[in-house]
Amino acid sequence: MTTTLDNVEAQRTSVQTFDLKLGGVRELNKTLHHATDGDTFAVDHPGGKHSIAVGVNAEVDIEINGHVGYYAAGMNQGGRITINGNAGVGVAENMMSGAVHVTGDASQSAGATAHGGLLVIDGNASARCGISMKGIDIVVGGNIGHMSAFMAQAGRLVVCGDAGEALGDSIYEARLYVKGTAASLGADCIAKEMREEHLAELGELLRAAGRDDDPADFTRYGSARTLYNFHVDNSSAY
Amino acid sequence: MTLTAPDQTVAPALPAPALAELGLRESATFDRATIADIQRAAETGIYDIRGWGAKRKVPHFDDLLFLGASMSRYPLEGYREKCGTDIVLGDRYASKPLRLDIPITIAGMSFGALSANAKEALGRGASAVGTSTTTGDGGMTPEERGQSKHLVYQYLPSRYGMNPDDLRKADAIEVVLGQGAKPGGGGMLLGQKITERVAGMRTLPIGIDQRSACRHPDWTGPDDLEIKIAELREITDWEKPIYVKIGASRPYYDTALAVKSGADVVVLDGMQGGTAATQQVFIENVGIPTLAAIPQAVQALQELGMHRKVQLIVSGGIRTGADVAKAMALGADAVAIGTAALIALGDNSPRYAAEYAKLGSAAGYYDDFQDGRDPAGISTQDPELSARLDPVAGGRRIANYLRVLTMEAQTIARACGKAHLHNLEPEDLVALTIESAAMARVPLAGTSWIPGATGAGL
């Protein structure tokens, strides 16, 4: 089932607010690690600090008002985290479940190695978006940089703008949907037919991200699977 | 390396001395193994992939000797006078550092490369003697966590199976930059070993030849590593020691940068350190010997005032208690064993001679860990072969071996008058060769000469 952003807008009753101008990231994360399902937090003045809201392990809502540094929402498990601003390197890296929404742009390696959950970036994402992704769904409203979905193993990456060079290099079983153009495809990545099931899952992903793009405008990319084995004829000699 | 059929059929009928008497001379450059390599390459069109570390002869601990106590040094009595072996790893920043009874740990080896029974045996053996074992490039298995009192969880470029639950279950986290068998190389696991369980843990299709990344996906260089280490500390609430493992190539700089990045422990793996599957050309030609690497790392730690504060674990060719003692005398806080632990479990045992022969190998030579047909049931995912290794009996063998290593190291330390293994020092050592004297930075035996000591030192 696709995780959606709907719950993020759920009514917030008692919001616990952290002002990172006053307190540190350690105190914030420590509190988040002891949170229980349904708790709601706001983080003001994040000031580009690193490792904000990492290791969240409950179905909590967190709204971060401003720009964040590296690894925001890293290894998220169940948290619904909104970043009202831009995100640094590795936002939602290795996410397991939950949802992370970046209203601005994201730097390199967004959603790297993530196993699950939904990452939505309204703006652009830089290089290596979805690198080594292992099951996450990523929806990018704008463009993505070079070497995105490098060695992508599983999950789905949706790009509503253009993709940079070497898209999907050495890709495994992840599925990539790009609305605009791909500057070039990486080794073993090829354009594939958009069948009904692909249009359906793409439509679901776009809806989950709160977008109204037409799935029919996208191209699907995936693995040609020619690098899955070394020269098969000689396998006994390895 | 697998011997191909022609090599077996054309074995020389005459023993080597007889050939020499006939005036036949084997080339030192194109020896028979080299000829077989060239012909194998010509036949198959693919490089040779194998397990183990460097097989070439390099200056090693064998080239060092201890100076026992004498007129000016008092030895300690065996048995009656204590020689401590306990160590603390990771007390720089971690609130829960590892406290081990012996300074010999089990190096990172993946489930996937090794069978579940082998991993369990390593965990049982290590736990029995109060030391740690380490996961590998395939995630943490319940067998391993369940049987390991102290478990180090590796954080590798591939991040196969990486998840925050296991991170929180770990007793320490090892950020792997490289390994001695292949500094600068990624992992490899051939299709024969990618069973349904291994594939599931790594989120990969079954049966593919898996090549894992050589660079981390979300950080590059020491400035990023510092931020990455801080993130791992935040996720785990600053409880776990964080190690940084480097393959020995530029250990002086790598150690200094690891310390500056905030590592609690540096793990330094020399070129004799093993691998489950790597190109032979890589294993034999990239990296430097363990002996050459240790003094460089120790120098970096000393210059930063961090020797003994950031602990140094050395691996790559540790076989005996003498090797343990020599590594520690050169400045290591602990050592790690991999290949030797597999041998203790039965790898390359002569009792499998007939089966090694069927695989085109022989006891003492078997290194085709990538094939997954290990008759000893260690480097395999085949259920029948794996079942040959009883994890309880294997655990006992590992525990026995670790105890012997410890007692041997204590024997040497007592002879040098040391009440704790970590009191061993370079002054206890001399070298047998000029090369080893220069690398280990201890004098050539019978002289006060340390080649290069008055030079730049690097």
> Could you list the pLDDT tens digit for every one of the 458 residues in chain B?
454 444 444 555 677 778 889 999 999 999 999 999 999 999 988 889 999 999 999 999 999 999 999 998 899 998 789 999 999 999 999 999 999 999 999 999 999 899 999 999 999 999 999 999 999 988 999 988 999 999 999 999 999 999 999 999 999 999 999 999 999 998 888 888 888 888 899 999 998 888 889 999 999 999 999 999 999 999 999 999 999 999 999 999 999 999 999 999 999 999 999 999 999 999 999 999 999 999 999 999 999 999 999 999 999 999 999 999 999 999 999 999 999 999 999 999 999 999 999 999 999 999 999 899 999 999 999 999 999 999 999 999 999 999 999 999 999 999 999 999 999 999 999 999 999 999 999 999 999 999 998 754 44
User: Which pLDDT does position A234 carry in this prediction?
Assistant: 53
Chain A interface mutation, best of B169, B188, B218, highest count of A Cβ atoms under 10 Å: B218
B456 lies in some domain? no
Establish if A92 belongs to a structural domain: no
CA distance B198 to chain A (A): 14
In a domain, B446, yes or no: no
CATH number for the domain harbouring residue B294: 3.20.20.70
Distance CA B102, CA B98 (A): 11
Whole-angstrom Cα distance, residue A13 to residue B327? 60
Predicted pLDDT of residue A7: 52
Number of domains in chain A: 1
Q: Are residues B155 and B248 in the same domain?
A: yes
Residue B9, pLDDT score: 47
CA B99 to chain centre: 21
Cβ of B205 and A228 within 8 Å? yes
Alpha-carbon dihedral B390, B395, B401, B407, rounded to 10 degrees: -150
Residue B221 at interface with chain A, using a CB cutoff of 8 Å: no
B319 and B176 in one domain?
A: yes
| Residue in B426, B424, B455 with CA at minimum distance from that of residue B441 | B426
In a domain, B448, yes or no: no
CB contact under 8 A, B224 and A89: yes
Distance from CA of A14 to the nearest CA of B (A): 25
> Does B224 lie in the same domain as B133?
yes
Tokens (6 digits) for B92 = 């720089």
pLDDT at B3: 45
Residues B266 and B352 in one domain: yes
Q: Do residue B137 and residue B40 come from a single domain?
A: no
pLDDT score recorded for residue B210: 85
Q: Which DSSP string do the residues of B358-389 spell out, in sequence order?
A: HTT--TTT---GGGT--TTSSS---HHHHTTS
Specify if B340 maps to a domain. yes
In a domain, A67, yes or no: no
Which among A33, A96, A128 is the nearest to B163, CB-wise?
A96
Considering only CB atoms, which chain B residues are within 8 Å of A106?
none
Whether residue B214 is found in the same domain as residue B248: yes
pLDDT at B117: 95
* Same domain flag for B194 and B146: yes
Buried b vs exposed e over B261-291: b needs ≥16 C-beta within 10 Å? bbbbbbbbbbbbbbbbbbbbebbeebbbbbb
- Are B37 and B112 within one domain? no
Three-state DSSP at B173 gives: strand
One DSSP character per residue, chain A reads ----SGGGGS---SEEEEETTTS-HHHHHHHHHT--TT-EEEEE--TT-SSTT-S--SS-EEEEES-B-TTTTTT-EEEEEEESS-B-TTTTTT--EEEEEESS-B-TTTTTT--SSEEEESS-B-TTTTTT-EEEEEEESS-B-TTTTTT--EEEEEESS-B-SSBTTT--S-EEEESS-BS-B-TTEEEE---HHHHHHHHHHHHHTT----GGG-EEEEE--SSSSS-GGGGGG-
Helix, strand or coil for residue B280? Answer: helix
Q: How far apart (Å, rounded) are the C-alpha atoms in residues A136 and B179?
A: 29
In-domain check, residue A44? no
Full domain range(s) for residue A175: 124-224
- What span, in angstroms and rounded, lies between the C-alpha atoms of B417 and B411? 10
From the CA of A7, how many Å to the nearest CA of chain B? Answer: 23
Contact B187, B210 (CB under 8 A): yes
> How much is the pLDDT for A2?
66
Location of structure tokens 């890709």: A171
Location of structure tokens 């199976």 = B161
Based on the domain organization, do B208 and B237 belong to the same domain? yes
Asked if B325 and B250 sit in the same domain, the reply is yes
Q: Which residues of chain A have pLDDT under 70?
A: 1-2, 6-13, 231-238
Are B325 and B339 in contact by the 8 Å Cβ rule? The answer is: no
A69 C-beta neighbours (distance < 10 Å), count? 21
Name every chain A residue with its beta carbon within 8 A of the beta carbon of B218: 71, 89-90, 93, 108-109, 112-113, 128, 131
Chain B positions touching A173 (Cβ under 8 A) are 205
With a CB cutoff of 8 Å and minimum separation 6, the contacts of B256 are B300, B303, B304
Does residue B217 sit at the A interface (CB-CB below 8 Å)?
yes
Check if the beta carbon of residue B178 is closer than 8 Å to that of residue B246: yes
- The reply to whether residue A172 touches residue B205, judged by beta carbons under 8 angstroms, is yes
| Beta strands, E only, B97-202 | 98-100, 104-106, 132-134, 150-155, 172-176, 188-189
Please report residues of B whose CB lies closer than 8 A to that of A25. 234
User: What's the Rg (C-alpha) of chain A?
Assistant: 18
Q: Do both B300 and B393 map to the same domain?
A: yes
Rounded CA separation A98/B207 (Å): 31
Question: Considering Cα of A7, then A73, then B138, then B186, what sign does the dihedral take?
Answer: positive
Question: CA of A73: how far to CAs of A32, A91, B97, B174, in Å?
Answer: 11, 6, 26, 21
The DSSP result for B297-335, as a single string, is: HHHHHHHTT-BTTBEEEEESS--SHHHHHHHHHTT-SEE
CA distance A65 to chain B (A): 20
d(CA A169, CA A184): 10
Contact predicate B274/B53, CB 8 Å: yes
B47 Cβ partners below 8 Å, 6+ apart? Answer: B41, B279, B280, B281
Q: Residue B23 belongs to what domain range? A: 5-46
Does the beta-carbon distance from A71 to B228 stay under 8 Å?
yes
Q: What is the pLDDT of residues B400-440, one digit of tens each?
A: 999 999 999 999 999 999 999 999 999 999 999 999 999 99
| A131 interaction partners in chain B (CB closer than 8 Å) | 217-218
H helical segments located in B24-76:
32-44
Contact B69, B417 (CB under 8 A): yes
Minimal Cβ distance to A238: which of B167, B208, B370: B370
B135 within 8 A of B154, measured Cβ to Cβ: yes
What dihedral do alpha carbons B297, B300, B304, B309 form, nearest 10°? 10
Q: Which amino acid is at A88?
A: G
B29 in the same domain as B69: no
Cα nearest neighbour of B368 on chain A:
A238
Q: Which of B138, B76, B128, B63 is nearest to B101 (CA)?
A: B128
Please classify residue A150 by burial: count the beta carbons closer than 10 Å to its beta carbon, then call 0-12 exposed, 13-18 middle and 19+ buried: buried
Residues B180, B185, B190, B195: is their CA dihedral positive or negative? positive
Residues of A in Cβ contact (< 8 Å) with B224: 70, 89
Judge whether B450 lies within some domain. no
In a domain, B314, yes or no: yes
Q: Which of A70, A96, A231 sits opposite B227 (nearest CB)?
A: A70
Helices and strands in chain B: count of H runs, count of E runs: 17, 16
Output the pLDDT for position B457.
Answer: 47
